[in-house]
């Protein structure tokens, strides 16, 4: 099979397409022939050596996949030919920038017919991050006021839709060019983060979902009502922040993302009910992973970037 690997940390050019041995599924695993691979900002940081999750190169990045089961002999959960998607093994290496991936059957779900492989590959990491933050940790309910920082990005655009599906009043920050996009996702109020100070403009929020970190996370404290919660996907390791929220009587949590099959089924259910769609900003052929990572490095994305495996 072909896989994308890197022999050292570096810029996008560090990523190279190589021939690699086919992975062999263990009992309880399936072998997936990958059709599309979702990209996430974490992978750019891992590529550059900014975050030591996978240890030193060589390694193959990637978690988000959608594809077709090729070998299901190790499990009763799927059959060859089933269309599946998921983010297997996270945060351990799944080596998913590849044509074949061996994955625990429990870490995959059947791909909803309403999503193409490209759309399905874009969903697991961002969808489960938003699900775990809003459903599992914050327990968002009918009528809650939810502020999503960065509602036009990968996690944010899914989070806005999940919060709406849970019955919340959704306020989100996004740059001016993404205003119509986030309104189209169902956001009730949109603040241009370059023009409006959200810390002045927003009050009495039950849940903040922070997808930006730094000063944005710090300045979110006064927007929460007493007993409210901030879940951050970015600043979870800041002990000062945790202390400040505790001192103010507010709850504070990071997201410990994992390939939760219950959450994955919850996302499928929302897709099938027409309550959740995935916006793919750009699709790159597998061979053009360097260009895809250049786009990832530029940031300020609307929705997601995906690699399509061309055969």
Ligand X SMILES: NC(=O)c1ccc[n+]([C@@H]2O[C@H](COP(=O)([O-])OP(=O)(O)OC[C@H]3O[C@@H](n4cnc5c(N)ncnc54)[C@H](OP(=O)(O)O)[C@@H]3O)[C@@H](O)[C@H]2O)c1
Of residues 163, 231, 257, 308, which one binds ligand X by CB under 6 A?
257
Radius of gyration of the chain measured on its C-alpha atoms = 19
Of residues 40, 75, 161, 220, which one binds ligand X by CB under 6 A?
40
Of residues 211, 250, 264, 283, which one binds ligand X by CB under 6 A?
211
CB nearer to ligand X: give 75 or 129.
Answer: 129
CB nearer to ligand X: give 247 or 262.
Answer: 262
* Strand ranges in the chain using DSSP code E only, listed in sequence order: 2-6, 15-19, 29-39, 65-71, 83-86, 100-104, 108-110, 145-149, 169-174, 189-192, 205-210, 224-232, 251-254, 280-285, 304-308
Of residues 2, 49, 175, 251, which one binds ligand X by CB under 6 A?
175
Of residues 60, 95, 216, 220, which one binds ligand X by CB under 6 A?
216
Q: Across the strands, what pairs with 276?
A: none
Count of beta carbons in the 10 Å neighbourhood of residue 142 = 8
CB nearer to ligand X: give 31 or 292.
Answer: 292
CB nearer to ligand X: give 70 or 297.
Answer: 297
Is 127 a binding residue for ligand X by CB under 6 A? The answer is: no
CB nearer to ligand X: give 72 or 123.
Answer: 123
Q: Helix (H, G, I), strand (E, B), or coil: what is residue 202?
A: coil
Distance of alpha carbon 195 from alpha carbon 206, whole angstroms: 24
Stretch that binds ligand X, among 30-38, 53-61, 121-129, 287-295 (CB under 6 A): 121-129
Is 47 a binding residue for ligand X by CB under 6 A? The answer is: no
Give residue 82's Cα distance to chain centre: 23
Residues with Cβ within 8 Å of 243's Cβ and at least 6 positions away in sequence, in order, are: none
- CB 261 to ligand X: min, Å: 17
- CB 31 to ligand X: min, Å: 26
Angle at 145 between CA 139 and CA 146, to 5 degrees: 65
Interface residues with ligand X (CB under 6 A) are 40-42, 125-126, 129, 149-150, 152-156, 173-175, 178, 193, 211-212, 216, 233-234, 255, 257, 299-301
């Amino acid at each position: 099979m072909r896989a994308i690997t890197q022999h050292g940390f570096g810029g996008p050019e560090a990523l190279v397409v190589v021939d690699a041995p086919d992975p062999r599924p263990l009992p309880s695993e399936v072998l997936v022939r990958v059709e599309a691979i979702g990209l996430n900002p974490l992978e750019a940081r891992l590529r550059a050596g900014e975050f030591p999750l996978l240890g030193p190169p060589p390694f193959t990045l990637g978690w988000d996949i959608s594809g077709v089961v090729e070998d299901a002999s190790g499990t009763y959960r799927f059959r060859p030919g089933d269309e599946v998607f998921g983010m297997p093994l996270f945060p351990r290496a799944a080596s998913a920038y590849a044509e074949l991936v061996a994955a625990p059957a429990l870490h995959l779900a059947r791909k909803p017919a309403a999503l193409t492989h490209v759309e399905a590959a874009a969903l697991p990491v961002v969808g489960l991050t938003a699900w775990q933050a809003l459903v599992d940790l914050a327990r968002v309910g009918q009528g809650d006021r939810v502020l999503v920082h960065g509602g036009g990005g990968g996690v944010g655009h899914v989070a806005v839709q999940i919060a709406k599906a849970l019955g919340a009043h959704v306020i989100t920050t996004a740059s001016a060019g993404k205003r119509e996009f986030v309104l189209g996702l169902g956001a009730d109020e949109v603040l241009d983060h370059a023009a409006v100070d959200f810390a002045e403009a927003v009050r009495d929020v039950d849940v903040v979902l922070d997808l930006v970190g730094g000063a944005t996370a710090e300045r979110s404290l006064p927007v929460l009502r007493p007993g409210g919660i901030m879940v951050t996907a970015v600043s979870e390791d800041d002990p000062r922040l945790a202390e400040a929220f505790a001192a103010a009587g507010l709850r504070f949590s990071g997201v410990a993302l994992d390939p939760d099959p219950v959450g994955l089924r919850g996302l499928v259910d929302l897709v099938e009910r027409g309550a959740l769609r995935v916006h793919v900003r750009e699709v790159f052929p597998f061979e053009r992973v360097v260009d895809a990572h250049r786009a990832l490095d530029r940031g300020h994305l609307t929705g997601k970037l995906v690699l399509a495996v061309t055969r």
